[in-house]
Amino acid sequence: MNEKRRRARVQSGWASSGLNKNNVSKQNSSQQFNFQPNVQIKSKPVDIDIRDDGEYELSSTENGVSRIKLYNSFIPAEECDWMFEQLLHEIPWKQENIFINGESKAQPRLTAWYGDINYSYSGLTLNPYQFSPLLNILKDKVLLKTSHRFNSMLANQYRNEKDSVDWHSDDEVSLGVRPIIASLSFGDTRTFELRQKPKEGEDYTFSQLVRVPLKSGSLLLMEGATQIDWQHRVAKEYHDRNVRLNLTFRHIHNQPKT
């Protein structure tokens, strides 16, 4: 008797509310929860690999257009080997110390500076050597190809896969407002990477990354706002690499004395 009374009370409750079990089940199954986030989800751009000859626009901002030009066979293959050997032995290579966060560290590569004016970066000042006959020939060839006149050159020797140069921009005051850099490579192929500088308040998590394998005899030209809006590097690698020589031509301006 008590069980019959309990069932009667429950059924009476459903009836008084105008609902039944079946209706509740249908209502629950038809409910939809719409989630509308207030924060836009941002994803990293797909990495870009550049291998073919040509002109490539990296970005266009209030600073101007950033572009690179790649010439894979700027120096004919039959000339690369003897030029590599001569440059390897005639350039007075040296491992310099630079300052990083106030601490002096040996650069993970060898360098030499050429031109008429001292060059300073990362707490280091380089005194110039004079261009050799071969370096003058190469400088003139770059001028004919690019129509840009350079008066200085930083030579880099990457001895193996452990040698590198970290993320940076060639934006020293002595290079001018929108410096143009011509990078000529000999020896083993190394990957040259560029990443776009983030907007204020952001970091490099979502920056565009561009990779350019630079083989022997190739010429890479960086123009426009590339040194303002982008950084570049040659990263350490995890498989064996032979020697790579890199000649980076640029134009240095005399700085007024203070």
Contacts of 114 (CB under 8 A, 6+ apart): 128, 129, 130, 131, 135, 152, 153, 154, 155
Domain carrying residue 141 = 48-250
Does a structural domain hold residue 157? yes
CA distance 163 to 190: 11
- Can you tell me whether residue 2 is helix, strand or coil? helix
| pLDDT score of 197 | 97
**Is the pLDDT reported for residue 123 higher than 80?**
no
- Can you tell me whether residue 16 is helix, strand or coil? helix
Does a structural domain hold residue 258? no
Query: Which is more confident, 35 or 63?
Result: 63
| pLDDT score of 218 | 98
CATH of the domain at 145: 2.60.120.590
Q: Quick count: other Cβ atoms within 10 Å of Cβ 128?
A: 18
Does a structural domain hold residue 171? yes
Does a structural domain hold residue 257? no
Element (H, E) at 128: none
Would you place residue 240 in the very low, low, confident or very high pLDDT band (cuts 50, 70, 90)?
very high
- What is the mean pLDDT of the segment spanning 242-250? 98
**Is the pLDDT reported for residue 129 higher than 80?**
yes
**Is the pLDDT reported for residue 4 higher than 80?**
no
Does a structural domain hold residue 31? no
**Is the pLDDT reported for residue 138 higher than 90?**
yes
| pLDDT score of 22 | 46
Strands 244-250 and 152-158: antiparallel
**Is the pLDDT reported for residue 156 higher than 70?**
yes
Say if CB 197 and CB 59 are below 8 A apart.
Answer: no
| pLDDT score of 24 | 39
Does a structural domain hold residue 29? no
- Can you say whether the dihedral through the CA atoms of 127, 130, 134, 135 is positive or negative? positive
Does a structural domain hold residue 12? no
For the stretch 158-203, pLDDT in tens is 999 999 999 999 999 999 999 999 999 999 999 999 999 998 888 9
For the stretch 5-56, pLDDT in tens is 555 554 554 444 444 444 434 444 445 556 555 666 778 899 999 999 999 9
For the stretch 69-92, pLDDT in tens is 999 999 999 999 999 999 999 999
Both tokens of 216, joined, read: 């022997």
- What is the mean pLDDT of the segment spanning 102-119? 92
Average pLDDT, the chain: 88
194 exposure class (CB count in 10 Å sphere: 0-12, 13-18, 19+) = buried
Does a structural domain hold residue 56? yes
Per the structure, the count of domains in the chain is 1
